[in-house]
Amino acid sequence: MVCVCNATYCDTLDPVVLPAPGTYVRYESSKAGKRLERSEGSFQRSLHAPDLVLTVDTAQRYQRVKGFGGSITDAAAINVFSLPEPAQDHLLRSYFSEEGLEYNLVRLPMASCDFSLHAYTYDDVPYDYELAHFSLRDEDTKLKIPLLHRASAMSTRPLSLCASPWTSPTWLKTSESYVGKGTLKGQAGDKYHKTWANYFVRFLDEYAKHNVTFWAVTAENEPTAGLINNYPFQCLGFTAEQQRDFIARDLGPALANSSHSHVQLIILDDNRLHLPRWAKVVLEDEEAARYVHGIGIHWYLDFIGPIQDTVVPTHELFPDYFILATEASIGAYFWERDVILGCWERGNQYSHSILMNLNNFVVGWTDWNLALDLEGGPNWVKNYVDSPVIVDASEGIFYKQPMFYHMGHFSKFIPEGSQRVGLVASKTTNLEYTAFLRPDGAVTVVVLNRSLQNVTFGLADNVGLIAAVAPANSIQTYLWRRWQ
């Protein structure tokens, strides 16, 4: 199940319009071939209710949403620009415009990552502690920044950008290498750590000169990667204690004393199995905690770190810090195929993860590369993975995969500022679901059926009852206005 887009054709959605009171609108995607197909219906006042009823309970209030989106890596930008310009526009509109998924979160690597053509940082001149030679690269000025400007121009929602570094310059590292096991030289408070903190500020300065401002930075992408022997691509190791001290003594003050004091700081940005310990180490330290706003989690190894043992206790301990899913991709494990065009099951995996996260206090979900090639790259260490959009530059086309449509069931209908509310099932069910009250007062409900059977159910609110069916292997989003 894919949509094939080119310079002249791409499927589009209409802007979301709230239905008349007493009616609802439903969007459905399915393995059978529906792609965010819209239909309308009316609430029924008195109806013989099915066994299974999902009842909206707005007295139960949970987290507010930050948003949904994906990442502009060097590879993603290279792939977008490999298309004819009208097709580039179709691709960007598919993600960012009102006729697409209306993404509002964008993650950006600070300099290179594995999804780059080569390893580099913004200051590869040895021992340049003053960062006199700091400068953005062609990857920024010719690829990522132009893409951001185009995305921003076609978006009706303000974009929130988050930047993450993979590695520091090698001359700041114990390994003297971009890759492999290595941390910053010395310890927090010294010239190595101060230089690395100032590098963040310089990055924000240089992007600001190009009219790009950031909502947040993460202290380091996957800080535990740099603690692993022979790690294959760019990394910089921090233990929780090292991250705590770096933030308290160097990064926190550097950001606070810069013109970017409004930029939010996110810790961890690594697999959730490090929770709640990582959060305890950093946030129980008052000096570090005052600079921190949120906790970033990646979805890899979720199967050995259940959400109830990791995210939930972290939220209970530190309810004032948001938890945001900052990276996910399929195809990363050695036993997985990199790209499987049209794979519905991979869409299911995205939605299952998003629902599990949203139902456990997470405020948003960020996909990894916005677009990759047929191989799942480019990636300079061949760490190929899948993406919701796959580009075939030789044909001037791109494929919108099931993962793309699954993302849209959330991103388009649950805008920033929406608040999760209760959705109570009358009996146990295999359906997965969540409910949100939007800033405009409407309700959004998402229902995922990963089973092979159609499931009949009712959706109840103060407006009445919707008689519904979740087809086998489908995802649905319902939207309606409540009686005030």
User: Torsions phi, psi of 401, nearest 5?
Assistant: -90, 170
pLDDT tens digit sequence for 246-290: 999 999 999 999 999 999 999 999 999 999 999 999 999 999 999
CA distance 319 to 63: 10
Angle at 380 between CA 162 and CA 146, to 5 degrees: 40
Mean pLDDT of 346-360: 98
Residue among 202, 203, 196, 201 at smallest CA distance from 223: 196
Are the C-beta atoms of residues 72 and 147 closer than 8 Å to each other?
yes
Q: Which residues, 6 or more positions from 33, have their beta carbon under 8 angstroms from its beta carbon?
A: 1
User: 57: part of which helix (H) or strand (E)?
Assistant: strand 53-64
| pLDDT score recorded for residue 192 | 98
What distance in Å separates the CA atoms of residue 242 and residue 183, rounded to the nearest whole number?
9
Of 353, 371, 370, residue with least CA distance to 362: 353
Residues serving a catalytic function are: 222, 327
Each as own residue / partner, the long-range contacts of residues 125-132 (CB below 8 Å, 24 or more positions apart, any chain) are: 126/169, 126/171, 127/171, 128/169, 128/171, 129/191, 129/195, 131/195, 131/198, 131/199, 131/202
Q: CA-to-CA distance for 122 and 137, rounded, in angstroms?
A: 7
pLDDT per position as a tens digit, 82-103:
999 999 999 999 999 999 999 9
Which band of pLDDT confidence, cut at 50, 70 and 90, is reported for residue 483?
A: confident
Strand partners, 400: 3, 389
pLDDT tens for residues 293-345? 999 999 998 899 999 999 999 999 999 999 999 999 999 998 999 999 999 99
Q: Where are the alpha helices (DSSP H) in 17-84?
A: 74-81
Mean pLDDT taken over the chain = 97
Nearest to 110 by CA among 198, 232, 13, 35: 198
**How many other CB atoms are there within 10 angstroms of residue 241's CB atom?**
13
Q: What pLDDT, on a 0 to 100 scale, did the predictor assign at position 379?
A: 98
User: What span, in angstroms and rounded, lies between the C-alpha atoms of 247 and 291?
Assistant: 7
**62-70 average pLDDT score:** 98
What pLDDT does 161 receive? 98
| pLDDT for residue 484 | 67
pLDDT at residue 404 tops 70: yes
> SS3 of 230, please?
coil
| pLDDT range class, residue 8, cuts 50, 70, 90 | very high
Of 1-5, 67-71, 373-377, 445-449, the range with the lowest mean pLDDT is: 1-5
In percent, the amount of the chain with pLDDT more than 70 equals 99
Q: What is the pLDDT of residue 259?
A: 98
Both tokens of 334, joined, read 């050695």
Residue 49, amino acid: A
Nearest to 69 by CA among 420, 410, 439: 410
pLDDT single digits (tens) 117-141: 999 999 999 999 999 999 999 999 9
pLDDT digits (tens, 9 = 90+) for 138-167: 999 999 999 999 999 999 999 999 999 999
